[in-house]
A and B are shown apart, each in its own frame.
Chain A
């Protein structure tokens, strides 16, 4: 069972959260000019790395707010969690 630290509520059990996929995917601004391939890349293509992954979680049975996490997809260890719009710890140094 994962113990996940919500940036607002603190450490809570995995069952309170729902997963929301890869983080830091920005919606393209000039959508009218996008080609089909660019749309496909934005909508469907994912990094899906084996190792460090930045991803979104929703504290569904808590504050109901989204936040980001850095997690290893092999060991499942959560390195850090941070609010939407913040910089992950790795990039701050």
Chain B
């Protein structure tokens, strides 16, 4: 499954927010089977960089390339390969975890079965909470409901913004194991996190934003 052509690249990326230059002439490259961890203090532009890489925001300068093509010219192809879980993951408090997952699967064009979804919820530790409205769950459980998508997604490239917020230590170990599986299968991961990330069998590339 490892394809040397699979690569996410950013060339000469610059970002300006509210008149402040967050980063300038930033280059990055990611091959299949690699993890990139974006680090930096609060307000350094981690989320801004992630939003530029996934195509939600336009960089002031520079281009983002997916398999050599500018992502603006191959948006649909790129987004089919992409799983983005932002700081606000788009989970609806009025729906149950199961209903939320069903919506995300419909949106990404997958025909997942109910069993797959229940299985994913069990793996993320929400067994017994499938039919409870997310609004009644704790902060950590809400985040887990969003992260259950990692067990359902068939996307190659994962972009996760602070995925470990409010997750307990056991849950973090679980997620790191899932990231290791994904990377070993030839996937790519871009993650912003303050925590040191230990993924078995794969060195994490750090990218430090000033």
Partners in one complex: no
B residues with CB within 8 A of A: none
